[in-house]
């Protein structure tokens, strides 16, 4: 079951697409009142995601739907993944919204799975996380697709945790000052992450008690040298080390080899290729 706000978003997507009604279906009066069965089939190999959304949309319009394949599993062309029964006109009206969501979510889940598998082949306990580089109004579904693909959703919104970025540091006057202020004014319940641009900022932030250090656009070699330095100072184990910036399936293994704890990857939600699905509807 999806949370209430996600179901509300799905209703909004339907309203955006249907507006005052499907004029095509209205122009074909023999469709009115007929019952039909729709089957959604994969048209490309992908990690399946968006099934829960398809079931929820069907429920919103009074149709009966069942999953024919599990989210998170690889599916192949022509494999049926969802079956929906209901009024033919209704099925026609929800087709595009369901397919759009499944195509995008499965594309994200597939990209995530491939990157996660490459990273874990090198370092079994590493986490691959998303970022907030998401589509306005579609963030929940993109983050959920990352989880389906085996990734970590990272923070959802600005109120999830303290994440001190380079611009915060520039305004405040330094990483040390920024972490000091955050520890003083933020709730004890919020972890403090600090993005750093060099070794000195990393050391300062750790010494001031940051929980997470985000290495911004560090090369793998540079990360290794920093981690060795932190180990020498006996402060490496006190923080989570996260690498970010330009990481994708082409270089994720090199970053995983450095020994960081987390790799965050904006490409999961902004540079994926949508998977292909179609819906076939027949009279029942």
* Active-site annotation, residues: 133
CA distances from 267 to 4, 107, 138, 159, 164 (A): 28, 12, 16, 23, 21
Q: Extract long-range pairs of 217-223: CB within 8 Å, 24+ residues apart.
A: 217/244, 217/245, 217/246, 218/243, 218/245, 220/251, 220/254, 220/255, 220/257, 220/258, 223/255, 223/258, 223/259, 223/260
Pairing of strands 64-67, 80-87: antiparallel
Enumerate the β-bridge partners of residue 264.
Answer: 129, 244
Consecutive H or E run containing 151: none
Least Cα distance to 1 among 144, 98, 108, 125 occurs for 144
Pairing of strands 240-244, 212-216: parallel
Are the CB atoms for 66 and 82 separated by under 8 Å?
yes
Residue partners of 167: CB distance under 8 A and separation at least 6? none
SS (H, E, C) 256-281: HCCCCCEEECCHHHHCCCCCCEEEEE
């Amino acid at each position: 079951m999806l949370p209430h706000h996600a179901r509300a978003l799905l209703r909004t997507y339907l309203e955006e697409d249907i507006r005052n009604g499907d004029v095509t279906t209205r122009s074909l009066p023999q469709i009115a009142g007929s019952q039909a069965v729709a089957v959604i089939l994969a048209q490309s190999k992908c990690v399946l995601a968006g099934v829960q959304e398809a079931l929820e949309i069907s429920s919103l319009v009074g149709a009966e739907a069942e999953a024919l394949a599990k989210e998170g599993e690889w599916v192949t062309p022509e494999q049926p993944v969802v079956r929906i029964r209901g009024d033919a006109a209704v099925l026609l009206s929800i087709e595009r919204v369901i397919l759009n969501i499944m195509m995008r979510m499965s594309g994200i889940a597939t990209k995530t799975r491939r990157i996660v598998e490459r990273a874990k082949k090198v370092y079994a306990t590493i986490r691959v996380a998303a970022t907030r580089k998401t589509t306005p109004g579609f963030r929940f579904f993109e983050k959920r697709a990352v989880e389906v693909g085996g990734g970590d959703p990272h923070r959802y919104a600005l109120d999830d945790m303290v994440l001190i970025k380079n611009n915060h540091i520039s305004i405040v006057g330094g990483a040390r000052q920024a972490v000091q202020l955050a520890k003083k004014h933020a709730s004890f319940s919020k972890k403090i992450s600090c993005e750093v641009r060099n070794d000195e900022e990393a050391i300062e932030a750790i010494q001031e008690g940051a929980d997470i250090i985000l290495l911004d656009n560090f090369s793998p070699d540079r990360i290794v040298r920093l981690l060795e330095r932190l180990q020498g100072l006996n402060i490496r184990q006190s923080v989570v080390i996260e690498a970010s910036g330009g990481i994708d399936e082409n270089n994720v293994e090199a970053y995983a080899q450095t020994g960081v704890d987390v790799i965050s990857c904006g490409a999961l939600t902004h540079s994926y290729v949508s998977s292909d699905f179609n819906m076939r509807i027949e009279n029942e």
